[in-house]
Structure 1
Amino acid sequence: MTLFRHPRDRIPVLLFFTAFALDLTVYFTARSWWLPILWLALWVIPKGWICAWNHHHQHVSMFRHALPNRLLEIVFGFQTGATSHGWFLHHVLGHHRNYLDQEKDEARWKRRDGTAMGEQEFSIITTLTAYPRAFSVGREHPRAFRIFLGMGALQVALLGLLFWHDWYNALWVFLLPMCVSLYVTVWATYFHHAGLDAAEHTHASYNIVHRGYNLVTGNLGYHTAHHARHGLHWSQLPALHAQLSRDIPVTLYRQPGIPFVWSGAEAQIELSPGEVEPLAR
């Protein structure tokens, strides 16, 4: 029996562990003050993409067994700032259940007075409250909460060991990228939902169908499909989007961010089933 739930996760997981090995190499070998800073700058965008895959893992775990999943979540924790089951509690059991209700949504983009937050306001507030809100949701889900607390303590202990060994490299190679990546993850939520006060899935998310963007984010751009069936594996989202596309308003398609916006025009926004089928395969 294969170790993976879905064979398509093999290459992404290999890339995540390779990226983590590179982080460790820089951490243990860098002797110049500027190299860890340069490393952070070079990996800001790629680690933002890894955040999308951590998100997918929180919905559909990549391994069949707990031990390799927990090991992967430690790696994800150092790369994205979202520790094991933290995003599962905040995002899967919180945001996905409540995102149509801005009074309950754990990633709510409305202020208490009903007006919409600005992009930076939302991103800062939601980043700072991410773990408290995950903690709040966790009290209603004891099993996941225990894993969240235990793995969180382990993550902090490992980060503490890294700081004890070399605080400067630990700061630039691990802690600051963790903070930046968590912020990027939150910002992406704003990008997908802010301003859409809707009662139906097909009207509550923006979509990005740029092929390059979806290649590196695991089809995160098919966000309506993701919210319609959040337990669906990332590789199956284009096919579901094709089924839902006739009900998605044309105004709910967006350009991707940097660097894909530099490549020019958006890919065709309404994909026919014939165009989506190869992506689904």
Structure 2
Amino acid sequence: MTFFKYKADYVPVFLLCSIFVLDLVVFFNAEHLWQVVTWMIIGIAPKSVFCSFSHHHQHLETFKQPILNRLIEVPYACITGITSHLWFLHHVVGHHMNFMDQTKDESRWKRANGKLMSEFEYAFSVWITSYARAVIVGKRFPKQMKIFIIMALIQLGLLTVLFIINWQNALFVYLLPMAISLFLTAWLTYYHHAGLDTQNEFEASFNCTNSFYNLVTGNLGYHTAHHKRWRLHWSLLPEYHKSIEQKIPEHLIHDRFFSGKKLHQAAVKISEKTAA
């Protein structure tokens, strides 16, 4: 009998727990500033990867048992800065239900005047407002809001204890990497939708078929498929993408790990001409 809903989650969960344990080892054993700073620099890239899997978990929980889902959310939060149900409220509800309406989208890429935000502007906006927007959305979902608040308080309590034990190690092993990972997550999501002003679901997302990109993001490159079936497990997205690929405009599909400004701008211009 397995506790997992899907076997594909075995490896991501094992790696997540491994990094969580390494953080604890560094926290309790590092005696010098250079040691924790070095670990922060080395660890930020793999930690940012788990932001994608935290996202997947909050779309479709990893385990069959609720208690295990709450427990795995503790290392997810310590590593990514994303606490339990933050992405459910901000992203699953606030974004997925409204991503084609920039007046309601909690990950909106338009300014109040309707102009396209820059990458940094968008990333900073999502990063700095993510918890506040989750609270606003949570008012309509009291059951999920309750879990969000309880788990956020538990996380805050754990972080407080770590700071009492060793504030310097807590800062560089936990707090700063959490903040950086959340910011980088927001930055990378800019290229999912920015500039695609449409009411057609097949024309509202950029798709990346690069194999390495999809390995480290859990197939988030198949973004149209993800939006069409947001409860579909991440391991099944490539297959579903193939079934709908012919409906997605060619300029919205690329195979580069980094899409780049020029590629993005060119795709947006094509979309604008098509819409006109």
SS at match of 1:95: coil
The answer to which of 140-149 and 201-210 deviates more is 201-210
Runs of 4+ in 1 over 3 A off after TM superposition: none
What is residue 60 of structure 1 aligned with on the other side? 60
Equivalent in the alignment of 2:235: 235
Match of residue 173 from structure 2: 173
Give, in angstroms, the shift of residue 63 of structure 1.
0.4
Aligned equivalents of 1:193, 1:252: Cα separation in 2: 10
Q: Percent identity?
A: 47
The structural deviation recorded for 1:100 is: 0.5
Are the structure 2 counterparts of residues 64 and 162 from structure 1 closer, same or farther at C-alpha, using a change threshold of 3 Å?
Answer: same
Map Cα deviations across residues 14-55 of structure 1 (whole Å, 9 max, x no partner). 110011000111111011211111111112211111100000
Q: Does the alignment pair 1:75 with 2:70?
A: no
SS of residue matched to 1:96: coil
- Letter of the 1:66 partner, please give it: P
Q: How many angstroms apart in 1 are the aligned matches of 2:124 and 2:139?
A: 24
- State how far apart, in whole Å, the 1-side matches of 2:39 and 2:156 are: 22
- Answer yes or no: is 1:43 the counterpart of 2:43: yes
1:127 corresponds to: 127
Gapped regions of structure 2 (runs ≥ 5): 261-276
Determine if contact 2:212/2:257 at 8 Å carries over to the other structure.
no
Alpha-carbon distance in structure 1 between the residues aligned to 2:146 and 2:130:
17
Counterpart of 2:257? 256
Per mean C-alpha deviation after superposition, the further-off stretch among 151-160 and 26-35 is 26-35
Deviation at 1:124, TM superposition (A): 0.7
Which sections of structure 1, spanning at least 5 residues, go unmatched? 262-281
Matches within 5 A, 1:1-281: 1-254=1-254, 255-257=256-258
| Residue 253 of structure 1, CA deviation | 2.5
For residues 5 and 200 of structure 1, the distance between their equivalents in structure 2, rounded to whole angstroms, comes to: 32
Structure 1 counterpart of 2:257, which letter? P
Q: Deviations over 1:98-142 (max 9, x none)?
A: 001001000000011111111101111111110010000101000
Q: What is the CA deviation profile of residues 176-227 of structure 1, one whole-angstrom value per residue up to 9, with x for unaligned ones?
A: 0000011111112212111111112211111111111111211111111100
Distance 1:26 1:257, change over 3 A: farther
Q: Determine the C-alpha separation between the residues in 1 that align with 2:37 and 2:157.
A: 23
2:83 aligned partner, one-letter code: T
User: CA shift at 1:257, angstroms?
Assistant: 3.1
Distance 1:19 1:152 in 2: 21
Distance 1:228 1:131 in 2: 26
Q: Which amino acid aligns with 2:121?
A: E
Work out the CA distance in 2 between the residues paired with 1:93 and 1:143.
14
Cα gap change, 1:44 to 1:257, in 2 (>3 Å): farther
Q: How many residues align?
A: 259
Shift of 1:13: 0.5
CA distance in 2, matches of 1:252, 1:42: 33
Say what the alpha-carbon RMSD is for the aligned residues: 1.2
